[in-house]
Structure 1
């Protein structure tokens, strides 16, 4: 990918006095003309690139810029490679893997041992304990990522939160990881509006030959201005000391009060939906909803329904 190549070139220029277009072209497996275009792009971004002719010629970043604006430290490189590694764990993209190798190859020799040490100290696994990656889900990630790169529409059958099973044709915009789940933010041609679809609810996913022509807003813009904002409700929960370890995992310290008998009070605000009911029920007999009364009533009814199932 071009952005990975540009980043790697900048880092190489920061760590070397001079490098030729031919050497860069060979390293990144592109033409010399492409390297010259890359240099123009880097210059336009505000990083001053100069060139010199002759046997010892090549490209270099102006010295005063290198001295005052050396913006990629060893820690920056570690963070970049770590982020790429975790992205590639989902997408399994050869371009991402190549970008990691390129960045690692330009780390100064006297810093490689430090890099290796730091790199081994960081590992990110987005799955909860006891869960394994689903190959079926991995295929969906890769297909949607491919559609995004190729600017193509996708179609799938989707089961929504109402239990409806509907065919959708969408123009994908962004892959979103939120709350331990993957989603795709898209423009839905059925609803003529933006929608967010959970990958695990998709079946019969296909990449279509239709290209996306109309520019779309970003997920960040949508989340700030278009996404409906639910008003949170105050809730007071009383937990048994037997689940104290879980409470400290999910609630802030200033929301928690420890009582003399060992029980725990939690006073917080939540968005009321089916997820919060499920979260409360997950604590079983070790939690009681004290306020508000309508949520207490809903949990009571759900408990009765559970009893009926097992009667």
Structure 2
């Protein structure tokens, strides 16, 4: 709908210094002429949008314009507060707490009981059952976050898969929260390449008196390049009925075929690495790798090592 597009354009302009007509047309999949008509409509609604020509040009909202809180609906406010609350469950950041309080303050007083009821009905916890937040990990997060803000390098001893500690000096780029843990995507000066380090494997973390040398690629660009370099592997698994409830939580329905004996065949695609082997082994005797043969053989050898360890 046009009204949704107009509101989205206003929000984008509020969040950015400038944005071009070409970028807006690509974002909303409409013509540049349509974007110019949208800008005219927004101006007529009382929101002053100006434009600047040239290579660094684009549309922008005049600096002296202050948007009224009535621009946001109650549902918008609840969504923003809920998003901030869930983010802070991971970050534990005072600035996020302050932002939450600011949002709560603009909620009409006669609607606050409705908002309180919503947060009693909906709660999001990013950690799995039985897991607790690591205070040590939180301390490391704050140190790295400070280094990012100051554009400084960091050093730490990093424990690899063999349990060895190696001193690393890196240029931090992005803090990443994935799979219940924090990671730092950075440019490693030792390897002269991009690496992702898990905070729980770090020891002796320090901020160095050394500035990051230049702007690095983003985490999103790195992940995209990694995914194109590695081809996914087709994985065929047979699960016993005993773990059917678990795989229905994890795999997509279209990947599963349910057999008469209660077992389930899962046909999926994965990027092959150590995580895949760990995932398969976590199901113990309730899963069999049917294909490909080389992964079946890897799992067989790992199972043999486990048996030998318990002899």
For Structure 1 versus Structure 2, the TM-score category normalised by the shorter chain is 0.7 to 0.9
Q: What secondary structure, in the 3-state scheme, does the structure 2 residue paired with 1:217 have? A: coil
Kindly state the Cα deviation for residue 152 of structure 1 after the two structures are TM-superposed.
2.3
Q: How many angstroms apart in 2 are the aligned matches of 1:96 and 1:43?
A: 31
Aligned length: 259
Partner of 1:25: none
The answer on 1:192 being equivalent to 2:192 is: yes
Deviations 1:8-46 (A, max 9, x none): xx8xxxxxxxxxxxxxxxxxxxxxxxxxxxxxxx99983
Partner of 1:33: none
Deviations 1:117-158 (A, max 9, x none): 223333221111111111111111122122222322211111
The answer on 1:154 being equivalent to 2:154 is: yes
Determine which of 60, 75, 78 is the counterpart of 1:46: 60
Partner of 2:255: 255
Q: Which moved more, 1:192-201 or 1:74-83?
A: 74-83
Q: How many angstroms apart in 1 are the aligned matches of 2:50 and 2:86?
A: 30
Kindly state the Cα deviation for residue 175 of structure 1 after the two structures are TM-superposed.
0.7
Q: How many angstroms apart in 1 are the aligned matches of 2:306 and 2:61?
A: 64
Q: Which moved more, 1:289-298 or 1:130-139?
A: 289-298
Tell me, which stretches of 5 or more residues in structure 2 are unaligned? 1-10, 15-48, 52-58
User: Residues 160 and 291 (structure 1 numbering): CA distance in 2 closer, same or farther, change over 3 Å?
Assistant: same
Partner of 2:118: 118
Q: How many angstroms apart in 2 are the aligned matches of 1:307 and 1:111?
A: 62
Task: Tell me the TM-score normalized by structure 2.
Answer: 0.74
Q: How many angstroms apart in 2 are the aligned matches of 1:174 and 1:93?
A: 16
Q: How many angstroms apart in 1 are the aligned matches of 2:87 and 2:95?
A: 11
- Whether the aligned pair in 2 keeps the contact of 1:234 and 1:269 (CA below 8 Å) is yes
The answer on 1:210 being equivalent to 2:214 is: no
Partner of 1:101: 101
Partner of 2:240: 240
Kindly state the Cα deviation for residue 268 of structure 1 after the two structures are TM-superposed.
1.3
Which residues in structure 2 correspond to 1:11-160 (within 5 Å)?
46-48=60-62, 60-61=66-67, 70=71, 72-160=72-160
- Whether the aligned pair in 1 keeps the contact of 2:90 and 2:126 (CA below 8 Å) is no
Kindly state the Cα deviation for residue 266 of structure 1 after the two structures are TM-superposed.
1.1
Kindly state the Cα deviation for residue 197 of structure 1 after the two structures are TM-superposed.
1.1
RMSD: 2.8
Deviations 1:48-67 (A, max 9, x none): 565xxxxxxxx754x9xx99
Q: How many angstroms apart in 2 are the aligned matches of 1:228 and 1:159?
A: 28
Higher RCO (CA-CA < 8 Å; seq separation 6+): 1
The answer on 1:292 being equivalent to 2:292 is: yes
Task: Tell me the TM-score normalized by structure 1.
Answer: 0.74
Kindly state the Cα deviation for residue 185 of structure 1 after the two structures are TM-superposed.
1.1
Kindly state the Cα deviation for residue 168 of structure 1 after the two structures are TM-superposed.
1.1
